[in-house]
A and B are shown apart, each in its own frame.
Chain A
Amino acid sequence: MRPFTYVRAHEVGTALAEAEADSRADFLAGGTTQLDLMKDGVLRPDRLIDITRLPLHGIEERQGALIVGALVTMEELAADPVAGRRLPLVREALLRSASVQLRNMATIGGNLLQRTRCRYFRDPTVAACNKRDRGSGCAAVHGSHRTHAVLGTSEHCIATHASDVAVTLVALDAVVHISGAAGDRKVPLTGFYRTPGDTPDVENDLRPGELIAAVEIPLLPEGARSDYLKVRDRSSYEFALASAAVAVGLGADRRIEWARVGLGGVATVPWRAVEAEAVLTGSPADGEVFASAAAAAVAGAEPRPQNAFKVDLAQRTLVRTLQTVTGAGS
């Protein structure tokens, strides 16, 4: 690890000023991404601003939404009674992530900003990684890419975004509250992430020195049915090969009145499957509709030799989740 100066901020204003003063400063929350990548030599800040003591630890229900402070841990949000009742898919995604020890450390803000698990990104001895070093190439395209993305890719980067909970949050239209030296702003999570294009190093809308202060999660209407299903190489403590976040409103005639669909493990950003939602909305909850919704979700997929199986797997994962939430067509 490269030497750095450690500073601890107790107020948001101080943290922002510290970041503003040093363009080579990074924030430290739970550290489960930040310290890991510093040990690997991927991140090399001069200054580490410990933000864990900022007053951003609260969870508050306000006007039909849950406002979750950026420093709330994954375990804390999973244990929140309102989240458990009104956002069961969020709870499920959290409890299927990482391990208890990691979830006790990892924060919601940090989770949204976690970096890809692409082994080439995480290994600075590999020269070719456009995410680490723009213009250097992508070792994964012709290398090992079984776990890589099939949606939202470009020839410059196929790295998967590994967050589980972010997949539920894009489906739920969550909003990121951002604080910066120049002021505060709110950005919908669906517009927050950037697919790689020819600048894979730019992953989101956050400007240098800005801080995520909170995430606003609109609660599901009473009666909504929802679930998060994660499919992986082992049944616990593993990243998703494919996952689906689904919420639907089902009418008395078993028609789908509205639908929200997110996909994980298969895309370069937490993926909102609007094409699938369009197929589902107004249609009967049956196997045929589920299959066409799933086909629509992956219509734009660009599989490569080792990850072509994900196109099927993503569809099956989505269909299974739709069956579970609607109780139809198994």
Chain B
Amino acid sequence: MTLQAKPHAEESLPQTEFTLRVNGRDHPLRTDARLTLLDALHDRLGLTGTKKGCDQGTCGACTVHVDGRRVLSCLTLAAQCDEREIATVEGLGTEDELHPVQRAFLEHDAFQCGYCTPGQIMSALGLMAEGRAGSPDEIREYMSGNICRCGAYQNIVAAIRDVAGTEDGGRADDVPQAEGGRP
């Protein structure tokens, strides 16, 4: 393969055009259709807060909101998001004033390496909007899509409880605990 051949081949790949609206700002894009929302945010728009953990839909590090709902940006095509409202961790708080969830994560030491944290925070915001921070067990169940390799789970739950005002409470009624029959 010659050096010139590559860009030529790239240009001949099927392209799509659309507008990504992220944290209230429009970004017109023309790209290879394969671009995921995660790669668009990270590599095209320079919004590096959203993280790539598994790139396979299993870890939650890439959690963002599309039209107000928490989703995984690694399994979403950027082109699918034309005219949708995307919210990322960069849209939270200001230079001087952190968002209450960000502050609670700091105060409760809810991370170690911090790689999962933007996803945890975006997911926690979704959790509270859904009304699912009613008890520690409910928080654990509905945050289970966000994996933390450093195992900061206890403090993540504490941070969310702090912001949501979650009672100590027993177990959520509709959340079965470790059902029996483990082999």
- Chain A interface residues (CB < 8 Å from chain B): 1, 3-6, 8, 28, 30-32, 35-36, 39, 48, 50, 52, 75, 92, 95-96, 98-102, 104-105, 229-237, 241-242, 309, 313, 316-317, 320
Instruction: State whether A105 and B145 are in contact (beta carbons under 8 Å apart), knowing that A100-B130, A230-B179 are contacts in the complex.
Output: no
On whether the beta carbons of B127 and A28 are closer than 8 Å, the reply is no
**CB < 8 Å neighbour of B182 from A1, A5, A100, A233:** A233
Kindly state whether residue B162 has any CB partner on chain A within 8 Å.
no
Given A100-B70, A101-B72: A5 in contact with B144 (beta carbons within 8 A): no
User: What distance in Å separates the Cβ of A159 from its nearest Cβ neighbour in chain B?
Assistant: 19
Given A6-B16, A231-B181, A235-B177, 15 more A-B residue pairs with CB atoms under 8 Å apart are A6-B33, A28-B77, A28-B80, A31-B77, A50-B77, A99-B60, A99-B146, A100-B123, A100-B126, A101-B126, A101-B145, A102-B72, A102-B75, A235-B176, A309-B183
B46 within 8 A of A: no
B71 and A50 form a contact (CB under 8 A): no
Which residues on the A side are within 8 Å of B24 (C-beta)?
Answer: none
The residue that A5 contacts in the complex, of B33, B140, B146, B179, with Cβ under 8 A, is B33
Q: Which of A35, A101, A105, A241 has the most chain B CB atoms inside 10 A of its CB? A: A101
B44 lies within 8 A of chain A by Cβ? no
What are 27 contact pairs spanning A and B, CB under 8 A?
A3-B14, A4-B33, A4-B34, A5-B14, A6-B33, A31-B76, A32-B72, A35-B36, A35-B75, A50-B77, A50-B79, A99-B144, A99-B146, A100-B142, A101-B60, A101-B123, A102-B72, A105-B72, A105-B76, A229-B179, A230-B179, A232-B179, A235-B178, A236-B144, A237-B145, A313-B183, A316-B180
Q: How distant is A309 from chain B, measured CB to nearest CB, in Å?
A: 4
Which residues of B are in contact with A by a Cβ distance under 8 Å? 13-14, 16, 32-34, 36, 55-57, 60, 63, 69-72, 75-77, 79-80, 82, 123, 126-127, 130, 132, 140-142, 144-146, 174, 176-183
| Shortest Cβ distance from residue A273 to the other chain B in the assembled complex, whole angstroms | 17
Instruction: Name the distance in Å between B29's Cβ and chain A's nearest Cβ.
Output: 12
Q: Which of B16, B70, B80, B127 has the most CB of A within 10 A?
A: B80
Are the CB atoms of B140 and A236 closer together than 8 Å?
yes
Complexed CA–CA distance, A92 and B144 (Å): 16
Contact of B34 among A1, A313, A316 (CB under 8 A): A1
Residues B126 and A231 in contact, CB atoms below 8 Å apart: no
Closest to B79 in A: A6
With beta carbons under 8 angstroms apart, the residue of A4, A35, A237 that contacts B144 is A237
* Contact partners of B123 in chain A: CB under 8 A: 100-101
Q: Is the CB of B75 within 8 A of A105?
A: yes
CB-defined contacts of B174 to chain A, threshold 8 Å: 92, 95
CB distance from A122 to the nearest CB of B (A): 10
Q: Cβ of A39: which chain B residues have Cβ within 8 Å of it?
A: 55-56
**Are A48 and B33 touching (Cβ within 8 A)?**
yes
**Are A31 and B80 within 8 A (Cβ)?**
yes
For the complex formed, measure the closest distance between the CB of A235 and the CB atoms of chain B, giving whole angstroms: 4
A233: which B residues are within 8 A, CB to CB? 182
Q: Is the CB of B80 within 8 A of A236?
A: no
Q: A6-B14, A237-B144 are in contact. Are A231 and B180 (CB under 8 A)?
A: yes
CB distance from B148 to the nearest CB of A (A): 13
Q: A317: which B residues are within 8 A, CB to CB?
A: 181
Given the complex of chains A and B, what is the CA–CA distance between A230 and B141 in angstroms?
14
**For A96, what are the chain B residues with a Cβ–Cβ distance below 8 Å?**
176
Residues of A within 8 A of B77 (CB): 6, 28, 31, 35, 48, 50
How far apart are B141's CB and chain A's nearest CB, in angstroms?
Answer: 5
Which A residues are CB-close (under 8 A) to B70? Answer: 100-101, 104
Report B-chain residues with C-beta under 8 Å of the C-beta of A36: 56-57, 75
Among A5, A30, A105, max chain B CB count under 10 A is at A105
Residues of chain A contacted by B146 (CB below 8 angstroms): 99
Residues in chain A near residue B176, CB distance under 8 A: 96, 229, 235
With most chain A CB atoms within 10 A of its CB, the pick from B60, B130, B144, B177 is B144
Give 4 nearest A-B pairs by CB, closest first: A99-B145, A236-B144, A6-B33, A237-B144
- Which residues of the partner chain A approach B16 to less than 8 Å between Cβ atoms? 6
Query: Which residues on the B side are within 8 Å of A242 (C-beta)?
Result: 181
Cβ B71 vs Cβ A104 within 8 A: yes
Give the Cβ gap from A246 to chain B, nearest Cβ, in Å: 15
Report how far A5 CA is from B75 CA in the complex, Å: 17
Q: Which residues of A contact B55 (CB under 8 A)?
A: 39
